[in-house]
Amino acid sequence: MRKISKIIVTAMAAALLPAMAAQAEELISIGFAQVGHESDWRTASTKSCQDVFSEENGYDLSFVDCDNDEAAQKEAVRSFIEQDVDYIIIDPIIATGWDTVLTECEDAGIPVIVIDRTIDDSDKYAAWVGSNFKTEGLAAGEWLAAYAEKQGIEELNVLTISGSTGSSAQIGRSEGFNEVAEKYGWNLIDEQTGDFTEAGGQEVMENYCKSYEGQFNVVVCQNDNEAFGAMTAMDNAGVTYGPGNDVILISYDACTAGLEDVKAGKITADFECNPLAAPFVEEVIKKLAAGEEVEKEVYMVEHWYALEDQIVEFEVDGEAQEMTLVTDEVIEAQY
């Protein structure tokens, strides 16, 4: 009896093992060292990777949430090397100190794909996939120019509530927008940081309303949370904003709550910062697997949102831009 069962088990194992091995071979193993989980944007980014690199799609994803700890992130990458994964995805917490780790990856023959944030002191990665913040800024500027022309607004006096000083999003968005402003000769009155938070946006706007009473007609917030705060402050100061009102309110990010405010006629236009990097990363991986050349910098497609009357035609760097009309379906589908 015992013998028989032993034989059966052995036979089953023998039958199963090659099958399992074959399955493991088919799956492409990927290690992803994520920054942490500090915002809705970040959560959307994580979820995007988990959805795209699922087992059904033929991937085996090892995901590590590094909780904003740079040492833990490098440790995670080293453990991926030990596991001998096929590809490594890193969203680097800080831009420097990567050369040693990336050399180790290179020696192990594992291609690294960097997403979102950048690595400054090493080029030993296959590709970087992320947002072009400067393009976002340029788009916001060119949209404003086209919209003001359509509305017959001649003088633009702009107040900016910027993001955390020195962050790549703040630098890129300010650079792009200010470039356009200079081109058209707009009056940039002031730029103070709201640290990407609602409380920050509220406090800065409260002071703007007093310092520059009746002197501004455009407010640019470098993310949606700052825009929420700015709206409360303008409400209290009796300043009206949104399409057809005193102030044109421009925002970046275009998260669900931001788009709801676009639809409600509060934010005049919202410029997306796309968190869904995974589909673009998958394309890079497919190219690498096929032995094709990949571009070192891959920019994600991003959308610009407004209501119908605020949709105007404009160009950025000679390329015609398409604007998306905000509807309930669009809001539903947004992260």
Where do contacts with another protein occur on this chain (CB under 8 A)? 37-40, 43, 165, 190-193, 195, 197-200, 202-204, 206-207, 210-211, 225, 228-229, 232, 234-240, 256-257
| E strands present in 87-205 | 87-90, 112-115, 127-130, 157-162, 187-193
Nearest alpha carbon to residue 70 among 37, 36, 41, 99? 36
Q: How far is the CB of 85 from another protein (least distance, A)?
A: 25
Q: Determine the Cα–Cα distance for residues 255 and 120; give it in Å rounded to an integer.
A: 28
Q: How far is the CB of 119 from another protein (least distance, A)?
A: 24
Torsion over CA: 178, 182, 185, 187 (sign): positive
Q: How far is the CB of 232 from another protein (least distance, A)?
A: 8
> 């890193």: which residue's tokens?
90
Q: Determine the Cα–Cα distance for residues 9 and 330; give it in Å rounded to an integer.
A: 54
Q: Which two tokens stand for residue 96?
A: 């420097």
Q: How far is the CB of 190 from another protein (least distance, A)?
A: 7
CB 87 within 8 A of CB 113: yes
State which residue, 188 or 294, has the beta carbon closest to another protein: 188
State which residue, 137 or 242, has the beta carbon closest to another protein: 242
State which residue, 226 or 272, has the beta carbon closest to another protein: 226
Q: How far is the CB of 216 from another protein (least distance, A)?
A: 14
Q: Which two tokens stand for residue 64?
A: 């590590």
State which residue, 99 or 213, has the beta carbon closest to another protein: 213
State which residue, 23 or 187, has the beta carbon closest to another protein: 187
State which residue, 85 or 219, has the beta carbon closest to another protein: 219
Q: How far is CA 213 from CA 190, 219, 232, 244, 277, in A?
A: 13, 13, 16, 19, 41
Q: How far is the CB of 148 from another protein (least distance, A)?
A: 23
Residue partners of 157: CB distance under 8 A and separation at least 6: 186, 187, 189, 212, 215, 216, 217, 218
State which residue, 189 or 294, has the beta carbon closest to another protein: 189
Q: How far is the CB of 280 from another protein (least distance, A)?
A: 24
State which residue, 132 or 164, has the beta carbon closest to another protein: 164
> 């790549």: which residue's tokens?
168
Largest CA distance in the chain: 94
Q: How far is the CB of 253 from another protein (least distance, A)?
A: 12
Q: Determine the Cα–Cα distance for residues 189 and 169; give it in Å rounded to an integer.
A: 21
